[in-house]
Structure 1
Amino acid sequence: MSAVSDGNLVEVAGLRIEFPTEGGSVRAVDGLDFTLAPGGALGLVGESGSGKSATAYALLGLHRGTGARVSGTVRVAGTDVLAAQDAELRRLRGGVAAMVFQDPLSSLDPYYAIGDQIAEVYRVHHRGSRAAARARAVEVLDRVGIPDAARRARSRPHEFSGGMRQRALIAMALACEPRLLVADEPTTALDVTVQAQILDLLHELRAETGMGLLLVTHDLGVVAGSVDDVLVMRGGSAVERGPVTEVLRAPADPYTRALLSAVPRVDLRSAEGEERAAAPVLVKSPEAPVTSGEGGDVLLEAVGLRREFGKGRERLRAVDDVSLTVRAGETLGVVGESGSGKTTLGRMLVRLLDPSAGQIRYGGREIGGLGEKALRPLRRDLQMVFQDPVSSLNPRRSIGESIADPLRAAGELSDKAVVARVKELLERVGLDPDWYHRYPHEFSGGQRQRVGIARALAPGPKLIVCDEPVSALDVTTQAQVVALLAELRRDLGLSLVFIAHDLAVVRQVSDRVAVMRGGRIVESGTVDEVYDAPQDPYTKGLLAAVPVLDPAESAARRADRRELRSVMVTAP
């Protein structure tokens, strides 16, 4: 059945997209049909590799010249995208349909001011003076909530935060008043409050301008309050479509149900909460234990920890007087917005950064002031899993050799024993041991994160700090990695510090949680205490920004946030 009909802003029928490979080709999209009415909002949802981004790119003809084979029908505002001449496509892009990409850093030129880049887009489609183009750039930057837009228009991308860069990309897309906005994972890796701000902005822009929205995401929680209809993709095909309320409340396809079940829920109490509170911790620390008054042995303790960067007036206090404990066998969640000091704290705990002040005790021994030589024996006990496995793995070395590095550095095993141990670790984290000689680019994001976990496990640590280990993964892969960490903790008696901006994930994995803001811990306690009865206004704000799967509740929360912003603006 054709999806093409009269009066639609977007008409897609029988869309097929194939990408060439060494052995032939891979079909990313296979016979996809859908329409989008003027002013409507459609969510394309699916795991990584489902074909949703490839579909979005096809709407603007972005596959042209890449070697991809695209067939079927794609019409946007009456333009036959697949048959259009290059000049017609240039008029379409930006002027009629605009795109907001997932990674604003790779989409913005680092050498030019934000305002100049927006002005350039405007002048491509409108015959106007440079002054008029610059004025338009300031106007749209102000519209998307960039404070002091006239001044910030002269800033370069690196001077903007992640959320502000995403706003700048949306401003660039709005410069020519397009009829269609295509947003490809616009909130991935943003913290919950910034994500809520971006989604609220897109909703307000739709209401004000009447533009259509195609929102591409792996997170059903994101689409709940942002679109009218949803299309769920798997393996390049549509498995379910319909009004977002119906699909989320009564999904018909097993795959959609699996996606929904993988979404972490911030409103659910920990399944093991009461058992964890009652059960003693049986795992003992490797050195003389420090007994905690709350039960269980303290493995790691930070007291008055502080870290500063820079000097003089440029000095930044990233972590400011933080004290916490990590007990043997438990998971401590650390949550907060970007810039709250979470990562800096995590790096200090495993002594990858020296503290400017304060103490770090491991097994009762002060290690905060130890030099590298004295720290070397402790490196095997304190390990870290980094946020971006791509940048933490050497692309020129096989993943097996990367995992083997800490084993070879210890010098206690023969080469044969090292290889055997690495293959054992690969199997332990759910990867094929025969992939020892493969390179990082041959793995998916979730598989690379498993490699990072295997490398952290190699020396047999007692504590692992996980720094945003699932922030850029789709919900099903995220659930798999979280389940793996929980399994490893249970089987190996590990202690974990789980750093994340996603409060729902933190509730799922943690025993206790510490909430950070501006380098300080503003609230801490058991995970259920903090989530069910938050005391600090900042914690309450974080929880209120978490996406929910009920479209009606999502709309109500958006209205509450809008009312709060208006009160703050009008307050004396």
Structure 2
Amino acid sequence: MSSVEASVDGPVDVLVEVTDLTVGFGSLRAVDGLSFRLQKGAALGLVGESGSGKSTVASALLGLHRGTGADVGGSVRVAGIDVQEASEADLGRLRGGKAAMVFQDPLSSLDPYYAIGDQIAEVYRVHARVSRRAARARAVDVLDRVGIPDAARRSRSRPHEFSGGMRQRALIAMALACEPELLIADEPTTALDVTVQAQILDLLHTLREETGLGLLLVTHDVGVAAESVDEILVMRNGRAVEHGPVGTVLGAPTEPYTRDLLGAVPRVDARRARSEGSARPLSAASSETSSEASSAAPEVVLEATGLRREFGRGKRAFVAVDDVSLTVHRGETLGIVGESGSGKTTLGRMLVGLLKPTAGEIKPGGGVRPDVQMVFQDPVSSLNPRRSVGESIADPLRARGERDEGRIRGRVRELLERVGLEGAHYDRYPHEFSGGQRQRVGIARALAADPRVIVCDEPVSALDVTTQAQVVALLGELQRELGLALVFVAHDLAVVRQVSDRVAVMRRGRIVEQGPADEVYDSPQDPYTKQLLAAVPALDPEVAAQRRAVRRELATA
């Protein structure tokens, strides 16, 4: 009998009980008749694509839809409190006291003007009648508990002085301040690289072991769920598709949708497929991308030698990229991986011409090169919200001197259709598209310049696995048809293996290892590469537990 759905002797064992929950926003039914139970100390993962309703469920557990105009039905009980019927005072005691939430973006959850420790102390004083001194001491204690080094000193730091992983730890510390029975984590590792992600997941596991904390983990990453929970509830269109022990759901799914979801997950231990079809790698065979004889050397379309990039001057100078050399050939994909701060994005921006190297050379050189284009990580910030997507795609055409508006509109319509959208979408604005559709717009804009090379900077990091697979397949199709070379910059090692011919591993501005993708992944030589690969989430819960044990031993060695 499962730990989440098991019958219990009494309500004291049930931490969360959701019965026939519905949440509507006007004509949209975001959650439709969802029911589940979570016992004290257990961990449940809500897994699904963007728009499946999983974050809406998480908000409903804390009554966050109250006053928003949402139509909420059914029953929600958390830590003995009927959320639907609770008074504002009772909800105040629930939020932070009995149950706490950790959000995806810590920067939007932390006040940039106040020290981290002061913010945690303030939360603690809301629920515990203690002095300021005691609250400050509690803040330092929980920061230390979540692994912030020199917690007393760092508690005086502001959010911008913390790395992304440290900010997420600070949010977890804030959630733990009042010793809640339930922690709701909404995509807590989405923006983090694999090693920091592993640290956060290990931290959540340790906290559960030490405190008996119940965990509701909301994620689109099936691997993250496998690392962290006892059971999985797969959601689609607001409904439960499949629900059961994590090993059963991931090892032997019964529903077609669950199988499709798992099939879209890139595997770091799987060699690239080389047959025709959607599973084919991004790179194209030379016979498909070049008219040259197979014995001829592949054409070099981009070459960088001794690249260096510094920011600041004097004693405050920071070297982001240090003596990097690489070549990119027609029709191939070069993957560049590394943690946040490794210099990979700075390198990509230099290859496109958005940043000028402090030293070194890029051939062909000279400014922003139309033959090298970029697809950015966040299409929302790279598209002007006040201009139609058609006008944004048209910019490279106008920059090349095209003045005939009829030809411009016709070419943009062709590009929109080429990336799987509709030509009639020309006059729509970015907010009218989903994340995956906006990324397709970004790809269309890059193609408008007829490039030979496209630098993709974390192009799928913010997308769920099925949308991610669709964008990757689109890039592969375009590459095969147009002979494009791709430089694929990402922190997701599984995606990079899926798409790359060659891989370069970056650390602290330098390339520490590079070579054919399968060689680097199957037989890594540099200790840093081995560390990165060991941190990748495993879909097998038993393997995940083994890796967690190894990481724990290394941390205490």
Per the TM alignment, residue 278 of structure 1 is displaced from its structure 2 partner at its CA by: 12
* Counterpart selection for 2:310 from 286, 308, 311: 308
Aligned residue in 1 for 2:92? 90
SS of aligned partner of 2:363 = strand
Aligned residue in 1 for 2:20? 14
Aligned residue in 2 for 1:124? 126
* TM-score normalised by structure 2 residue count: 0.95
Per the TM alignment, residue 459 of structure 1 is displaced from its structure 2 partner at its CA by: 1.3
Aligned residue in 1 for 2:68? 66
Aligned residue in 2 for 1:234? 236
Q: Work out the CA distance in 2 between the residues paired with 1:275 and 1:179.
A: 45
Preserved contact between residue 288 and residue 480 of structure 2 (Cα < 8 Å) = no
Preserved contact between residue 4 and residue 35 of structure 1 (Cα < 8 Å) = no
Preserved contact between residue 282 and residue 472 of structure 2 (Cα < 8 Å) = no
Matching of residues 141-290 of structure 1 within 5 Å: 141-272=143-274, 280=286, 283=289
Preserved contact between residue 280 and residue 295 of structure 1 (Cα < 8 Å) = no
Matching of residues 362-441 of structure 1 within 5 Å: 362=364, 367=365, 370=366, 372=367, 379-441=369-431
Are the structure 2 counterparts of residues 231 and 272 from structure 1 closer, same or farther at C-alpha, using a change threshold of 3 Å? Answer: same
Preserved contact between residue 284 and residue 479 of structure 2 (Cα < 8 Å) = no
Are the structure 2 counterparts of residues 171 and 489 from structure 1 closer, same or farther at C-alpha, using a change threshold of 3 Å? Answer: same
Aligned residue in 1 for 2:470? 480
* Counterpart selection for 2:543 from 542, 553, 570: 553
Aligned residue in 1 for 2:337? 335
Q: Work out the CA distance in 2 between the residues paired with 1:299 and 1:12.
A: 57
Per the TM alignment, residue 380 of structure 1 is displaced from its structure 2 partner at its CA by: 2.2
Aligned length: 546
Q: Work out the CA distance in 1 between the residues paired with 2:311 and 2:61.
A: 45
Matching of residues 506-517 of structure 1 within 5 Å: 506-517=496-507
Matching of residues 481-560 of structure 1 within 5 Å: 481-560=471-550
Q: Work out the CA distance in 1 between the residues paired with 2:522 and 2:208.
A: 34
Preserved contact between residue 282 and residue 333 of structure 2 (Cα < 8 Å) = no
Are the structure 2 counterparts of residues 66 and 294 from structure 1 closer, same or farther at C-alpha, using a change threshold of 3 Å? Answer: farther
Q: Is there any run of 5+ residues in structure 2 with no aligned partner, and where?
A: none
Preserved contact between residue 282 and residue 479 of structure 2 (Cα < 8 Å) = no
Deviations 1:348-373 (A, max 9, x none): 011110000011113xxxx1xx3x4x
Q: Work out the CA distance in 2 between the residues paired with 1:275 and 1:9.
A: 45
Q: Work out the CA distance in 2 between the residues paired with 1:480 and 1:279.
A: 21
Per the TM alignment, residue 275 of structure 1 is displaced from its structure 2 partner at its CA by: 11
Per the TM alignment, residue 272 of structure 1 is displaced from its structure 2 partner at its CA by: 2.6
Per the TM alignment, residue 411 of structure 1 is displaced from its structure 2 partner at its CA by: 1.9
Aligned residue in 2 for 1:53? 55
Per the TM alignment, residue 413 of structure 1 is displaced from its structure 2 partner at its CA by: 5.0
Per the TM alignment, residue 69 of structure 1 is displaced from its structure 2 partner at its CA by: 1.0
Per the TM alignment, residue 284 of structure 1 is displaced from its structure 2 partner at its CA by: 5.8
Preserved contact between residue 3 and residue 11 of structure 1 (Cα < 8 Å) = no
SS of aligned partner of 2:402 = coil
Q: Work out the CA distance in 2 between the residues paired with 1:276 and 1:331.
A: 7
Q: Work out the CA distance in 2 between the residues paired with 1:248 and 1:214.
A: 18
SS of aligned partner of 2:14 = coil
Per the TM alignment, residue 432 of structure 1 is displaced from its structure 2 partner at its CA by: 1.4
Q: Work out the CA distance in 2 between the residues paired with 1:83 and 1:352.
A: 55
Per the TM alignment, residue 228 of structure 1 is displaced from its structure 2 partner at its CA by: 0.5
What is the identity, as a one-letter code, of the residue corresponding to 1:340? S
Q: Work out the CA distance in 2 between the residues paired with 1:216 and 1:140.
A: 23
Aligned residue in 2 for 1:452? 442
Q: Work out the CA distance in 2 between the residues paired with 1:279 and 1:127.
A: 68
What is the identity, as a one-letter code, of the residue corresponding to 1:258? D
* TM-score normalised by structure 1 residue count: 0.93
Q: Work out the CA distance in 1 between the residues paired with 2:190 and 2:18.
A: 26
What is the identity, as a one-letter code, of the residue corresponding to 1:443? F
SS of aligned partner of 1:515 = strand
Per the TM alignment, residue 536 of structure 1 is displaced from its structure 2 partner at its CA by: 0.1
Aligned residue in 1 for 2:109? 107
Is the aligned partner of 1:470 residue 2:455?
A: no
Per the TM alignment, residue 91 of structure 1 is displaced from its structure 2 partner at its CA by: 0.4
Q: Work out the CA distance in 2 between the residues paired with 1:455 and 1:360.
A: 23
Preserved contact between residue 416 and residue 422 of structure 2 (Cα < 8 Å) = yes
Q: Work out the CA distance in 2 between the residues paired with 1:143 and 1:204.
A: 10
Are the structure 2 counterparts of residues 294 and 166 from structure 1 closer, same or farther at C-alpha, using a change threshold of 3 Å? Answer: farther
Q: Work out the CA distance in 2 between the residues paired with 1:275 and 1:344.
A: 26
Per the TM alignment, residue 409 of structure 1 is displaced from its structure 2 partner at its CA by: 1.8
Deviations 1:446-503 (A, max 9, x none): 1111100000001111000000000111011001111111111111110000000000
Per the TM alignment, residue 276 of structure 1 is displaced from its structure 2 partner at its CA by: 10
Preserved contact between residue 4 and residue 12 of structure 1 (Cα < 8 Å) = no
SS of aligned partner of 1:124 = helix
What is the identity, as a one-letter code, of the residue corresponding to 2:169? R
Are the structure 2 counterparts of residues 278 and 88 from structure 1 closer, same or farther at C-alpha, using a change threshold of 3 Å? Answer: closer
What is the identity, as a one-letter code, of the residue corresponding to 2:362? I
Preserved contact between residue 497 and residue 517 of structure 2 (Cα < 8 Å) = yes
Per the TM alignment, residue 299 of structure 1 is displaced from its structure 2 partner at its CA by: 1.1
Are the structure 2 counterparts of residues 252 and 171 from structure 1 closer, same or farther at C-alpha, using a change threshold of 3 Å? Answer: same
Q: Work out the CA distance in 2 between the residues paired with 1:66 and 1:314.
A: 47
Q: Work out the CA distance in 2 between the residues paired with 1:284 and 1:492.
A: 10
Per the TM alignment, residue 45 of structure 1 is displaced from its structure 2 partner at its CA by: 0.3
Per the TM alignment, residue 282 of structure 1 is displaced from its structure 2 partner at its CA by: 6.3
Aligned residue in 2 for 1:570? none
Preserved contact between residue 282 and residue 477 of structure 2 (Cα < 8 Å) = no
Task: Compare 185-194 and 5-14 and name the one that shifted more.
Answer: 5-14
SS of aligned partner of 2:49 = coil
Q: Work out the CA distance in 2 between the residues paired with 1:278 and 1:462.
A: 14
Deviations 1:270-303 (A, max 9, x none): 1139999995466469xxx9x9x99412111111
What is the identity, as a one-letter code, of the residue corresponding to 2:499? V
What is the identity, as a one-letter code, of the residue corresponding to 1:161? S
Q: Work out the CA distance in 2 between the residues paired with 1:330 and 1:282.
A: 11
Per the TM alignment, residue 88 of structure 1 is displaced from its structure 2 partner at its CA by: 0.5
Q: Work out the CA distance in 1 between the residues paired with 2:218 and 2:200.
A: 14
Q: Work out the CA distance in 2 between the residues paired with 1:443 and 1:469.
A: 16
Q: Work out the CA distance in 1 between the residues paired with 2:315 and 2:95.
A: 45
SS of aligned partner of 2:302 = strand
Identity %: 74
Per the TM alignment, residue 412 of structure 1 is displaced from its structure 2 partner at its CA by: 2.7
Q: Work out the CA distance in 2 between the residues paired with 1:453 and 1:425.
A: 9
Q: Work out the CA distance in 1 between the residues paired with 2:418 and 2:284.
A: 30
Are the structure 2 counterparts of residues 124 and 339 from structure 1 closer, same or farther at C-alpha, using a change threshold of 3 Å? Answer: same
SS of aligned partner of 2:209 = helix
Q: Work out the CA distance in 2 between the residues paired with 1:213 and 1:275.
A: 37
Are the structure 2 counterparts of residues 485 and 52 from structure 1 closer, same or farther at C-alpha, using a change threshold of 3 Å? Answer: same
What is the identity, as a one-letter code, of the residue corresponding to 1:512? R
Matching of residues 30-41 of structure 1 within 5 Å: 30-41=32-43
SS of aligned partner of 1:9 = strand
Per the TM alignment, residue 312 of structure 1 is displaced from its structure 2 partner at its CA by: 1.2
Per the TM alignment, residue 315 of structure 1 is displaced from its structure 2 partner at its CA by: 0.6
Root mean square deviation, CA, Å = 2.1
Q: Work out the CA distance in 2 between the residues paired with 1:52 and 1:295.
A: 51
Q: Work out the CA distance in 2 between the residues paired with 1:250 and 1:171.
A: 36
Aligned residue in 2 for 1:135? 137
